[in-house]
Amino acid sequence: MLTLSDFTKEELYNILKKSREIKSDLKCGNYIRPYLSGKTVILLFQKPSTRTRISFDVGVHQLGGHPITLGWNDLQLGRGETVADTARTFDVYADGVVARVFKHTDLETMAACARAPVINALSDAAHPCQALGDCLTILEKRGKLEGVNVVFVGDGNDNVCRSLAEAVLKLGGNMTIASPKNYQLPPSYVESLKKGASKGAILTLVNDPKAAVKNADVIYTDVWVSMGQEAENQERMAAFKAYQVNSELMSHAPKDALVMHCLPAHRGLEITDDVIDGNNSVVWDQAENRLHAQKGIMALLL
């Protein structure tokens, strides 16, 4: 699972269905479902992580498997061994690989060289596990995904927005992305999103966040400066100043619009305390659902 574009609508719904089943079992006190009994999963992190690292570690354990969590520099990768040779080594020891990397091409190399499934835990191009956790949350809160209006406010070309758009449009929802002119999706990617969308699903790109949220069922934001973009900090802060999700922006949205953020949040920048901690926020449900969505992925894929 490198990007959600490789999956059909039916396959994505099957993952969400499995995720809900496993979550229901957990709520009933059935902590271990042995989908991964006797299996080992390597969790490789080149970038820092809180929710992804913990939820995958806990998830493998709750599915009866054995997680091995490693940093990039814990391995010979840090001394120059190739990604391809590392992936071949993983393949002879483990049943699956979960990797968070800077370059998406490194994931593609791993997937090409290892027979064991490789799961993208975030790359510069995509964050599919986050998007499925988000869709699970929307499904729980709204009862459906088809026809739901999801509005992303911020950097329209970041990895979270890309994967969220892929998932929402493929599952029948409408996606609106409000971003500054220089931070929108490239035309080629817009075309690929439209080709993968369900019949009737609408993708809209706008610059005005107030107009974007007018009919929103869900308002979603992310950090303005992602990992690896620190050199662009000053430029990005200026570009996104008008894209803060605050009470003034929320006053232009329906009163029951849900607020989502993939975390970590830079409070006072892309979102204010009163909104992320407010009654419309489902941010902590999102964080929990990363665990359940990822268990659904692993139960079916591994």
Q: Which of 2, 12, 1 is nearest to 197 (CA)?
A: 12
Question: 100 catalytic, yes or no?
Answer: yes
Q: Which of 222, 261, 286, 294 is catalytic?
A: 222
Q: Which of 130, 244, 286, 294 is catalytic?
A: 130
State phi, psi for 205 to the nearest 5 degrees. Answer: -115, 125
The residues pairing with 41 across neighbouring beta strands, listed in sequence order, are: 67, 96
Question: 266 catalytic, yes or no?
Answer: no
Q: Which of 51, 53, 127, 292 is catalytic?
A: 127
Question: 135 catalytic, yes or no?
Answer: no
**d(C-alpha 41, C-alpha 302), whole Å:** 9
Give me the sheet containing 258-261, strands edge to edge: 203-206, 174-178, 149-153, 218-221, 258-261
Q: Which of 51, 53, 100, 292 is catalytic?
A: 100
Q: Answer for the pair 295, 17: CB distance below 8 angstroms, yes or no.
A: no
The residues pairing with 96 across neighbouring beta strands, listed in sequence order, are: 41
Phi-psi region of 133 (alpha: psi -120 to 50; beta: other; left: phi over 0): alpha
Q: Which of 51, 142, 290, 292 is catalytic?
A: 290
Q: Three-state SS for 99? A: strand
Question: 127 catalytic, yes or no?
Answer: yes
Question: 129 catalytic, yes or no?
Answer: no
Question: 222 catalytic, yes or no?
Answer: yes
Q: Which of 113, 135, 161, 262 is catalytic?
A: 262
Residues tagged active-site: 100, 127, 130, 222, 262, 290
